[in-house]
Amino acid sequence: MDEAGALWLPSPNYFPDRAGHTPRWIIVHGTAGFSSAEEVGRYFQQADVSTHYTIGRDGVIVQSVREHDGAWGNGGITAGHDPWWTCDINPNNVTISIEHVKPHRDNSDELTQLQKEASFLLIQHICERHQIPTRKANASGGITGHRSMDPVMRGFCPGPYPWDELFAFLNASS
């Protein structure tokens, strides 16, 4: 596993070795259902989808795909996407995806305190491991939500996320 303390529930759904690409962005997701990170991890073992990590409401982190591989979590790029996404490269091969358990189907749940703390630390560690910029995403990399690449189908993803607190935490830690 890549993140110390994460529970390993491997998914068979990944792109080996990222087709030679390196991760430049972290994509924040909301699960739009489910009650625990372990439940999502088991789902990723059966369904044709996956993300690298899932963070439960209790702060538990499940890893389903190794960071050197691309997860099947982002789907396609749709109209209205942020300008740096291109259909020439599978976005899964240049991103690390983190799900946050949100029981409501519309992703309207706020993160719990434990979930927020686990998310901030995980993002910090991933940025350090891969030299991903610790700021809002742009063409050079960074951190953004799923809606950045798929505003048509995933405009509600990740739902509420404490972006300002995240960037303040990352800036204070660097």
In CATH, which of 3.40.1130.10, 3.40.80.10, 3.40.47.10, 3.30.450.20 is domain 7-173? 3.40.80.10
Question: For position 153, what pLDDT does the model report?
Answer: 85
d(CA 165, CA 155) in angstroms, rounded, equals 21
Distance CA 149, CA 68 (A): 21
CA dihedral 95, 44, 87, 146 (to 10 degrees): -60
Total-model pTM: 0.97
User: How far is 40 from 153, CA to CA, in rounded Å?
Assistant: 20
Nearest to 73 by CA among 160, 154, 133: 154
User: What pLDDT does residue 174 have?
Assistant: 65
CB atoms within 10 A of CB 54: 31
Mean pLDDT by 10 residues, the chain (174 residues): 96 96 97 97 96 98 98 91 92 97 97 98 98 97 96 90 98 80
Q: What pLDDT does residue 87 have?
A: 87
